[in-house]
Amino acid sequence: MIEIIPAVLPQTYKEIQDSVDAVHSIAPTIQLDFCDGKYVNNKTWWFNGKDIFKKDSILKEEEGLPYWDSTNYEFDLMISDPLSQIDTFIALGPSKIIFHKKTVSVESLVSYFESLPEAVRQTISFGIAIGVDEDPKEIAPLIPYLRRVQCMGIEHLGLQGQAFTDKVIPLVKEVYDLYGGSIRVSVDGGVGADNIFALVEAGARRLVVGSKVFQSEDPHGTIKMLQDIANS
């Protein structure tokens, strides 16, 4: 089954609450995008100085992310030096974390995965995101530690609503041909009804959709429509 993963690029914590409230009943996994203004120009919740008290409250276990007991959160870390902050992200309670290859060396990630505490290994799965200008063969040493490879369907990261690039379709096929037996291939950015068929045919099994869901009048219905197209 092809998954549709709604993605939230939150400026405030309330945006997370409102977005998750709109789709949690149809989307078991929701992606939260984190941007620090260094790896990408944009800054998202708490890196922009907004609602920091909410992050602190979750870290103190006074509360959890919205619907934390029934929603799987996937964190997309579009930040520089993510390993220096990884303990904070883990403490926020995700079930999945995605690193971007350009922000951390393959060697550092392998070392990190090899030293993971068993509690983290049992509760969180990991992925790596690559752009259309990157060679997927370079991530081969990481594959034994990963559950997914995320191919970016846009060329400029950190903003939603950007145009889809067809360059990602051959990238998806190459990743699927290389690693499809071990991982699931995701596509994030620019995904919509007009390109889903080509992406699925190339090997994508997880489709991350942001603005087309949350800028629609009916986010729930939009996800259902995309699911029907992807799985038809």
Residues sharing a CB contact under 8 Å with residue 19, sequence separation 6 or more, in sequence order: 6, 8, 10, 30, 214, 219
pLDDT at 227: 96
Residue 162's pLDDT is what?
Answer: 81
Q: First vs last Cα of the chain: how many Å apart?
A: 10
Confidence of residue 140 (pLDDT cuts 50, 70, 90): very high
Q: How confident is the model at residue 25 (pLDDT cuts 50, 70, 90)?
A: very high
Which DSSP string corresponds to 90-147? HHT--SEEEEEGGGS-HHHHHHHHHT--HHHHHH-EEEEEE-TTS-GGGGGGGGGG-S
Angstrom distance (rounded) from CA 125 to CA 150 = 13
Domain boundaries, given as residue ranges, for the chain: 3-230
Cα 216 from Cα 78, distance rounded (Å): 25
Strands 125-130 and 96-100: parallel
The model's pLDDT over 193-231, given as tens digits with 9 standing for 90+, comes to: 999 999 999 999 999 999 999 999 999 999 999 999 999
8/208 Cα distance (integer angstroms): 10
3-state helix, strand, coil in the chain (%, to 5): 40, 20, 40
Strand partners, 30: 73
- Residue 167 vs residues 23, 156, 170, 188: alpha-carbon distances, Å: 30, 13, 6, 13
Residues 58, 64: Cα–Cα separation, whole Å: 5
Round the average pLDDT of the chain to a whole number and report it: 96
Percent of the chain past pLDDT 90, that is, above it, reads: 95
Contacts of 221 (CB under 8 A, 6+ apart): none
CATH architecture of 3-230: Alpha-Beta Barrel (3.20)
